Amino acid sequence: MLGLSRLDLNLVYVIATVVLEYSYPYGLYAPKQPVSECLLGTLLVIPKLSQSCLAPEALTVHLALMLTSLLAEYPRLLAECAVAERMSRVPGLKLHPTLFHTPLIYGPASARETMILIYREYLSIARASKLPILLTAPTWRLDPSRLAGAGMPATILEDAVAFLHERREECPDDQPPVAIGALIGPRHDCYKPEWAPTAEESEIFHQPQIEALAATAIDFLLAQTLPSVAEAIGIAKAMARTGKPFLLSLCTGTDGSVLDGTTLPEAMKKIDHCLSPESRPIGYLVNCTHPKFLLAAYRPGELTRLIGIQANGSSRDVTQLDGATFTVADPIDSWAASMMELHHRHKVPILGGCCGTNNAHLQALAR
pLDDT at 17 over 60: no
Question: pTM to 2 decimals?
Answer: 0.84
Q: Are residues 322 and 225 in the same domain?
A: yes
Q: Are residues 217 and 151 in the same domain?
A: yes
Q: Are residues 31 and 82 in the same domain?
A: no
Element (H, E) at 57: helix 56-73
CA-nearest of 339, 331, 338, 340 to 360 is 331
Q: Are residues 43 and 191 in the same domain?
A: no
Q: Are 143 and 153 in contact (CB under 8 A)?
A: no
**Which pLDDT tens digit goes with each residue over 212-270?**
999 999 999 999 999 999 999 999 999 999 999 999 999 999 999 999 999 999 999 99
C-beta atoms surrounding 109 within 10 Å: 9
Task: Write the DSSP symbol of residue 198.
Answer: P
Q: Are residues 24 and 157 in the same domain?
A: no
Q: Are residues 80 and 39 in the same domain?
A: no
Reduced to 3 states (helix: H, G, I; strand: E, B; else coil), residue 177 is coil
Is the residue at 1 inside a domain? no
Among the three residues 36, 61, 86, which one is the final residue of a domain in this structure? 61
Among the three residues 33, 61, 89, which one is the final residue of a domain in this structure? 61
Is the residue at 240 inside a domain? yes
Reduced to 3 states (helix: H, G, I; strand: E, B; else coil), residue 307 is strand
Q: Are residues 126 and 220 in the same domain?
A: yes
What CA–CA distance (Å, rounded) separates 251 from 225? 5
**Which pLDDT tens digit goes with each residue over 307-352?**
999 999 999 886 665 555 555 679 999 999 999 999 999 999 999 9
Q: Are residues 54 and 196 in the same domain?
A: no
Among the three residues 17, 35, 61, which one is the final residue of a domain in this structure? 61
Q: Are residues 45 and 160 in the same domain?
A: no
Q: Are residues 335 and 206 in the same domain?
A: yes
Is the residue at 254 inside a domain? yes
**Residue 322: domain span:** 75-366
The total of structural domains in the chain comes to 2
Type of residue at 220: F
142-149: long-range contacts, CB 8 A cutoff, minimum separation 24: 142/99, 142/102, 142/209, 143/184, 143/185, 143/187, 143/205, 143/206, 143/208, 143/209, 144/208, 144/209, 145/205, 146/98, 146/99, 147/99
